[in-house]
Structure 1
Amino acid sequence: MEAIASRKRINPPSGRKPKRSRREARGASVVINYGWPDLQGAANEVGNSLHTPWIAVEADISTVDGPAELVKAAVDKFGKIDIIVNNAAQATLAKVEDTTVNLWDTTMNTNVRGAFLVTQAALTYLPPKSEGGGGRIINITSEVATSPEILQTAYATSKGAIATLTRCLAKDLPPTYGCTVNAVSPGIVKTPQFLGELQKMCNAFLTQIFDARTPVDGWIGLPEDVAFAVSFLAEERASWINGASIDVSGGMFFD
């Protein structure tokens, strides 16, 4: 999923233990993207957990037109864009000899081209630099960009490209648009997609390996851990952080 947000002056919900999805929205109006009709329920579930205005938009980020459709829907609803989170990803596991052109292209189009096109389409709707700027572009890369495992050639290559794209945009965009561009690099995160692949690769065996390699208790992170890093970079006070990548892996991976 991609996410686009427009800041509003809304205080976060009170309570000792609010759901993190609510807390990490931090008062922003949120546009949640889903790529296919069967994901609408999941997108609505996320939206319904927020205490802030939101919409869910179906747009296939792997296509040429999908990114612009998403941006248009966001602007039509909220009028502007303050924060872009490029999170759409195609996770693929395949031997090099089994990686078809279609698999390679789908991975690159979703993970790399999609992020570029969403960003490109949204630039003119970011807060103008002449008015102080303050836009935030946050790309989700992965620790596999620098520490790949077997069967990850296409996926790791795409995430390496996102890491480089982040650094390039961090040089090119701020002088003109007054924004910042950063990345969050998750390690192993407990998502349905990952757990499905993990089951194929022998859950118990890998659990032992990963647990031994993670300094922080608990070998697997939660989506909320990644969301916290994203929301930190999206803060207005994070204006001096640009071109950075935050590792979110419990110390299993770092440069």
Structure 2
Amino acid sequence: MADETATSRAAAVKTLASKIAVVSGSNSGIGYAIAQELASRGASVVINYPFPELKDASEAAAAALETPGLAVCADISTTDGPMELIKATVTHFGTVDIIVNNAALAVNMPFEEQTLEHWDKLVNLNCRGTFLLTQAALPHLRRGGRIVNIVSISARAAPPLQSIYAGTKGMVESLTRVWAKELPPKYGCTVNAVSPGPTMTEGFRAAGEKAMKVLGPTIESTPAGKRMGEPEEIAYAVGFLCEERARWVNGEQLFVNGGLYVD
């Protein structure tokens, strides 16, 4: 009984209360799991969705958070979208404490079949979007802020069929390392990355049996368990990096993939 009471009290502590968190691409998947994790710790979270037709579902998702949040339509792959997201956040909340660069797309196909259209789509969202959103947020970032970039083991493990995607995630990894040295002295923040492996999102579930069969050998070789990761497991790592007690963690890439890739 005493243990249960202690656990309940610990769960009730809102360690990120009064913090404002912006999570790009957070109306579903890993992004929404991150939003739920941060909101459970007391943060007010801005849910970001890219297209107007997602408005109702995204607003419902923001309202359903443990700490109700705000839903903002902004396409992070455009040159204006990142600034629109930050402007809406600051207009509503007045400031920013946490930026999670999560919005991204992947293309899986032979190198010979990947086109300039694929290149533009992935580079504009995965790389330029991360660059512009962080840049837009910095003037409003309070001291003690957190920047967390969602990378991927693809940047290190070099899987076939992911030339552009792996390259974009490698760039975000490099941005993380540079920013971790450049930005904290100016803004009093930390900059880190979280690197998931295959994760059971809605997209993977919708991909069907054929896609899961292709992933079979990868899943079988994961040391911590023969399964895919869960979005909540990725989100927990992000939550840890956003805590005050993680203030001395800077410039790290936290691998959350069951040991599928070990640095």
How high is the TM-score relative to the length of structure 2?
Answer: 0.83
Q: 1:36 maps to which residue?
A: 51
Which of 153, 175, 195 is 1:165 aligned to? 175
Instruction: Name 1:246's counterpart in structure 2.
Output: 254
Q: Distance in 1 between matches of 2:209 and 2:77?
A: 26
2:45 partner SS: strand
Cα displacement (A) at 1:98? 1.5
Query: SS where residue 84 of structure 1 aligns?
Result: strand
Contact 1:21 1:49 in 2 (8 A): no
Secondary structure of 1:204's counterpart equals helix
* From 203, 219, 224, the counterpart of 2:227: 219
Taking a change above 3 Å as real, the CA distance of residues 213 and 41 of structure 1, as seen in their structure-2 partners, is farther
Q: Find the residue that maps to 1:136 and give its secondary structure.
A: strand
Q: Is the 8 A contact 2:223 2:258 kept in 1?
A: yes
Q: 1:198 to 1:242 in 2, by over 3 A?
A: farther
2:144–2:189 contact (8 Å) kept in structure 1: yes
Equivalent in the alignment of 2:215:
206
Tell me if structure 1 keeps the 8 A contact 2:192–2:241.
Answer: yes
In structure 2, give the amino acid aligned to 1:105.
D
**What stretches of structure 2 of length at least 5 have no aligned partner?**
1-15, 20-32
Alignment CA distance shift 1:98-1:41 (3 Å): farther
Report deviation, 1:49: 3.0
Q: Which amino acid in 2 is paired with 1:124?
A: P
**Residues of 2 paired with 1:126 and 1:250: CA distance?**
33
Match of 1:81 in 2: 96
Aligned partner of 2:69 in structure 1 is: 54
Match of 2:239 in 1: 231
Counterpart position of 1:187: 197
Answer whether contact 2:190 2:247 (CA < 8 A) is retained: yes
Asked whether the equivalents of residues 190 and 221 of structure 1 are also in contact (C-alpha less than 8 Å), the reply is yes
Equivalents in 2 of 1:137, 1:169: separation in Å?
9
Q: Which residue of 2 aligns with 1:135?
A: 145
Q: Are 2:37 and 2:232, in contact at CA under 8 Å, matched by a contact in 1? A: no
Q: Does 69-78 or 30-39 show the bigger shift?
A: 30-39
Cα deviation for residue 245 of structure 1 reads: 0.7
Q: CA deviation at 1:22?
A: 4.3
In 2, Cα distance between the equivalents of 1:204 and 1:196? 13
Alpha-carbon deviation of 1:178? 0.6
Q: Which residue of 2 aligns with 1:108?
A: 123
Distance 1:146 1:197 in 2: 24
Determine helix, strand or coil for the equivalent of 2:61: helix
Q: Which amino acid aligns with 2:54?
A: L
Q: Which amino acid aligns with 2:121?
A: T
CA contact (8 A) 1:134 1:179 kept: yes
Partner of 1:97: 112
The answer on whether the counterparts of 1:21 and 1:224 sit within 8 Å (CA) in structure 2 is: no
Secondary structure of the structure 1 residue equivalent to 2:144? coil
State the 1:45 CA deviation: 4.6
Distance 1:39-1:150 versus aligned 2 partners, 3 A rule:
farther
Figure out how many residues of one structure are paired with residues of the other and give that number. 234
Q: Deviations over 1:92-114 (max 9, x none)?
A: 11222221111101101100110
Change (3 A) 1:33 1:173: same
Matched position secondary structure for 1:224:
helix
Q: Aligned with 1:82: secondary structure?
A: strand
TM-score by length of 1: 0.85
Query: Match for residue 3 of structure 1?
Result: none
Q: Percent identity?
A: 50
Distance 1:63 1:21, change over 3 A: closer
Worse overlay, 93-102 or 220-229: 93-102
Letter in 2 for 1:162: V
